[in-house]
C-alpha cells in the first residue's frame, strides 16, 4: 500500500539520513542519475519540471548511480557541484546508490517490485530510468531512460 513508500529513507548527498515521509502529499519523480551519461543533459529537463511544479507540490529526487558504464565516478561533493554549476539543479540529490544487484538500495527494491519494466523484468536497464509517485505514495508509472522529462509533464500535471 501507499504508506510503504513513506517508510523508506535514504542518505542525502550531504550524508544525512532522510525519510521519504518528507515528501508525503507531493508528487515525486525518482530518477537514477549520472554525470557522464549520454542522457546527462536530461538534468536540464528535470530541473525545468522542478522549477515549474515545485510550488504545486512536486519534486524530483535524484539518486546518483555508478552501475552503468561507470558514468557516475565522482564523490558526492563532485556530483553535487557538477549538478549545481552545470545544470543549476535545485531538486534533492542523494548519496550514490546501487539500483541493481545484491546491494540494491531499498528505495529501488520497492520501486522495481511495484513497477517492473518491459516484460516484467525488474532490473533497471540504464541511467535516467524514472519512477512517478502520486501524492499518496503510490508508484504510478515507470519511464525508460530515453523518455525525456518534458514527455512526462502531462502525467505529472494530471497527478497534481
* Cβ-contact 131, 29 below 8 angstroms: yes
* Cβ-contact 121, 89 below 8 angstroms: no
Q: What is the spatial distance between Cα 8 and Cα 63, in angstroms, rounded to a whole number? A: 14
The residues annotated with a catalytic role in the active site are 37
Q: What is the spatial distance between Cα 24 and Cα 50, in angstroms, rounded to a whole number? A: 16
Amino acid at each position: 500500500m501507499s504508506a510503504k513508500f513513506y517508510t523508506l529513507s535514504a542518505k542525502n548527498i550531504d550524508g544525512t539520513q532522510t525519510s521519504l515521509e518528507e515528501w508525503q502529499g507531493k508528487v515525486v519523480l525518482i530518477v537514477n542519475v549520472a554525470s557522464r551519461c549520454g542522457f546527462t543533459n536530461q538534468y536540464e529537463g528535470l530541473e525545468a519540471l522542478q522549477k515549474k511544479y515545485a510550488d504545486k507540490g512536486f519534486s524530483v529526487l535524484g539518486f546518483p548511480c555508478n552501475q552503468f558504464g561507470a558514468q557516475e565516478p565522482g564523490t558526492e561533493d563532485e556530483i553535487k557541484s557538477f549538478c549545481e554549476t552545470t545544470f543549476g539543479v535545485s531538486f534533492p540529490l542523494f548519496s550514490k546508490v546501487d539500483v541493481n544487484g545484491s546491494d540494491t538500495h531499498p528505495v529501488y527494491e520497492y520501486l522495481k517490485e511495484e513497477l517492473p519494466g518491459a516484460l516484467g523484468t525488474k532490473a533497471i536497464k540504464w541511467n535516467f530510468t524514472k519512477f512517478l509517485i502520486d501524492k499518496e505514495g503510490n508508484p504510478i508509472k515507470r519511464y525508460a531512460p530515453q523518455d525525456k522529462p518534458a514527455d512526462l509533464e502531462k502525467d505529472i500535471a494530471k497527478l497534481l
